Structure 1
Amino acid sequence: MGLIELGSGIPALFEPAHGKKRRGGLIVAQEIFGLNANIKALCARFAGDGFDVVAPAYFNRIEADFIAPYDQDGIAKGLAAVRDTPWDQVTRDTQAAIDHLGQTHSRIFVTGFCWGGTVAWVAACRCHSLTAASGFYGRMINMFLAETPRVPIHLHYGDSDSGIPLAMVDEVAAAHPQVPIHIYPAGHGFFSDRGKDYAPEQADLAWSRTLDLFDHT
Structure 2
Amino acid sequence: MKITEHQTQQATGGFAPAVAPVASTTRHTDDHDLHTSETTIPTQGENMPAYLARPAAASGPLPVVLVVQEIFGVHEHIRDLCRRLAKEGYLAIAPELYFRQGDPQEYATIDELFSKLVSKVPDQQVLADLDHTAHWATRHGGEANRLAITGFCWGGRIAWLYAAHNPQLKAAAAWYGKLVGEKSLNQPKHPVDIAVDLNAPVLGLYGGQDSGIPQDTVETMRQAIRAANATAEIVVYPDAGHAFNADYRPSFNQEAADDGWQRMLAWFKQYGMAGTG
Q: TM-score, normalised by structure 1?
A: 0.91
Where does 1:12-91 land on structure 2 (aligned, <5 Å)? 12-17=50-55, 24-64=63-103, 66-67=104-105, 73-91=109-127
CA contact (8 A) 2:51 2:93 kept: yes
Q: SS state of the match for residue 91, structure 2?
A: strand
Where does 1:105-184 land on structure 2 (aligned, <5 Å)? 105=143, 106-140=145-179, 143-147=190-194, 148-177=197-226, 178=230, 179-184=232-237
From the superposition, tell whether residues 27 and 68 of structure 1 become closer, same or farther in structure 2 (CA, over 3 Å): farther
- Aligned-residue offset at 1:139: 1.0
Where does 1:91-110 land on structure 2 (aligned, <5 Å)? 91-103=127-139, 104-105=142-143, 106-110=145-149
Q: Distance in 2 between matches of 1:146 and 1:191?
A: 26
2:37 corresponds to: 2
From the superposition, tell whether residues 63 and 166 of structure 1 become closer, same or farther in structure 2 (CA, over 3 Å): same
- Aligned-residue offset at 1:18: 5.2
1:194 corresponds to: 248
Q: Distance in 1 between matches of 2:155 and 2:177?
A: 7
CA RMSD of aligned residues (A): 2.1
Whose radius of gyration is greater, 1 or 2? 2
After superposing the two structures, state which structure 1 stretch, 98-107 or 161-170, moved more: 98-107
Q: Distance in 2 between matches of 1:68 and 1:140?
A: 28
1:205 corresponds to: 259
For structure 1, the residue ranges without an aligned partner over 5 or more in a row are none
For structure 2, the residue ranges without an aligned partner over 5 or more in a row are 1-35, 182-189, 272-277
User: What is the count of residue pairs matched by the alignment?
Assistant: 214
2:49 corresponds to: 11
Q: Distance in 2 between matches of 1:141 and 1:11?
A: 29
Q: SS state of the match for residue 198, structure 2?
A: coil
Q: Distance in 1 between matches of 2:180 and 2:54?
A: 29
- Aligned-residue offset at 1:98: 1.2
2:20 corresponds to: none
- Aligned-residue offset at 1:131: 1.1
2:7 corresponds to: none
Q: Distance in 1 between matches of 2:71 and 2:106?
A: 8
Percent of pairs with identical residues:
29
- Aligned-residue offset at 1:60: 0.9
CA contact (8 A) 2:163 2:199 kept: yes
CA contact (8 A) 2:150 2:172 kept: yes
Q: Distance in 2 between matches of 1:121 and 1:154?
A: 9
Q: Distance in 2 between matches of 1:98 and 1:122?
A: 15
Q: Give the aligned residue type for 2:234.
A: I
Q: SS state of the match for residue 171, structure 1?
A: helix
Q: Distance in 1 between matches of 2:149 and 2:214?
A: 24
Q: TM-score, normalised by structure 2?
A: 0.72
